[in-house]
Structure 1
Amino acid sequence: MENREQARPIMRTRQLTVAGMLASVSAILGLTGYGFIPLPTIKATIMHIPVIIGAILEGPAVGMMVGLLFGLFSVFQNMTAPNILSFALLNPLVSVVPRILIGLMAYYCYKLVPSRNESVRIGVGAAVGSLTNTIGVMGMIYLLYAADFAAARGLNSDSVHTVIWGIILANGIPEAVISVLITIPVVVMLKRSTGRR
């Protein structure tokens, strides 16, 4: 007897389309430089916003795929336009893995927030996804490259912890706020335009 059951694809056509479009947005942000905002200590980014939007709209697989592209683009940018932290950001554990986790964290925080208010759920997902990026990248730099980071910045090794947390607060909070302000209206509009709740 012929088995009529077909293996369920990992991603549906629609999910692949959304992932492709958001990945294109990430690529444009990266290629034009608009996705990375240079600050004195690190480049702040808005490239995580397409990752968050993809995860909330289409699930963690889409978010993780867009996050993978974001991370790979970060490696590419640090190869072609090095900065003071490029020695660390060339490592995929620093620049790729945390970006993949953005989609996972944003999606599950969005899903698990015990609120009936869609905007609140989207906002929490966006904030957590954004903070996953900042804490993940800076945390991996601290774990893997604390001494190198201190040397590159001309710091005492005892002050690295404080400086890293300062960067997380100085970059992470504004990035999270921007993510929330952009993600909520975009996701709400896209859900309404496609008739989804």
Structure 2
Amino acid sequence: MEATTSTTLNTRRIVIAGVLGAISILLGWTRLGYIPVPNLAANATIMHVPVIIGAVMEGWLVGAIIGLLFGLSSFALATIPLFKNPLVAIVPRIIIGITSYFAYAALKKNSEYLALVIAAIVGTLTNTILVLGLAGLLNYVPWELMPPILVTNALPEVIIAIILVVAVVAAWKRIETGSVKAKM
């Protein structure tokens, strides 16, 4: 593999941000990114997963850009008042890329596999906690309804995010994930 120049690296990051941002938008637009759960929120989401993948692959800025695209699409496609508020629809999604990158970066020297798992957990909980927290602070949802929504949304979101983030990044980076080594 030949050495990359800073222009190539910048182009790569822009392309990865665009592709993963498009996947996140597609997941929302087609509703494939929603997981029906039996609670007041009605759906958990996996649309944040491309944000986490982009952040651990290419850094916090790429993660934040993908998060911005996810947030803008969430705002544009909003069907409930909560997500028609840009503070709720956009800001938490940008922060997903930042928190998941720094969680990954802090742990990757010890165990890249563990770093991916923690990044998936941190990114998912960033989305869930910030959206629900803003929903409560802005009086969209009563605080007493938060615990059941948090538990029933966060658990499936975290499990699926761990599986998808580890699988995609391990295959991409050829990381050993246990008994099987990822191959391209």
On whether the aligned pair clears a TM of 0.5, the verdict is yes
Q: CA deviation at 1:192?
A: 2.5
**Structure 2 residue 133 is matched with structure 1 residue 139:** yes
What is the number of equivalent residue pairs in this alignment? Answer: 167
The question of whether the paired residues in 2 share the 8 Å contact of 1:36 and 1:46 is answered with yes
The question of whether the paired residues in 2 share the 8 Å contact of 1:131 and 1:173 is answered with no
Q: Percent same amino acid at aligned positions? A: 41
Q: Which residue of 2 aligns with 1:120?
A: 114
The question of whether the paired residues in 2 share the 8 Å contact of 1:102 and 1:130 is answered with yes
**Structure 2 residue 26 is matched with structure 1 residue 28:** yes
Q: Which residue of 2 aligns with 1:191?
A: 173
The question of whether the paired residues in 1 share the 8 Å contact of 2:108 and 2:114 is answered with no
**CA shift digits 1:54-83 (9 cap, x unpaired):** 0000001111111111111111221xxx2x
**Aligned amino acid, residue 41 of structure 1:** L
Work out the CA distance in 1 between the residues paired with 2:108 and 2:47: 28
Q: 1:80-159 alignment to 2 at 5 Å?
A: 82=79, 86-113=80-107, 116-145=110-139, 148-149=140-141
**Aligned amino acid, residue 44 of structure 1:** A
**Structure 2 residue 179 is matched with structure 1 residue 181:** no
Greater C-alpha Rg: 1
**Aligned amino acid, residue 163 of structure 1:** L
**CA shift digits 1:20-52 (9 cap, x unpaired):** 110111122122110123444223110000000
The question of whether the paired residues in 1 share the 8 Å contact of 2:70 and 2:93 is answered with yes
Q: Which residue of 2 aligns with 1:52?
A: 52
Q: CA deviation at 1:161?
A: 2.2
Work out the CA distance in 2 between the residues paired with 1:35 and 1:138: 18
Q: CA deviation at 1:115?
A: 5.8
Q: Which residue of 1 aligns with 2:179?
A: none
The question of whether the paired residues in 2 share the 8 Å contact of 1:67 and 1:101 is answered with yes
Work out the CA distance in 2 between the residues paired with 1:141 and 1:182: 27
Q: How high is the TM-score relative to the length of structure 2?
A: 0.84
The question of whether the paired residues in 2 share the 8 Å contact of 1:54 and 1:103 is answered with yes
RMSD of aligned residue pairs (Cα, Å): 1.9
Q: Which residue of 2 aligns with 1:161?
A: 143
Structure 2: 5+ residue stretches without partners: 1-5, 176-184
**Aligned amino acid, residue 135 of structure 2:** I
Work out the CA distance in 2 between the residues paired with 1:30 and 1:94: 16
Q: CA deviation at 1:114?
A: 7.1
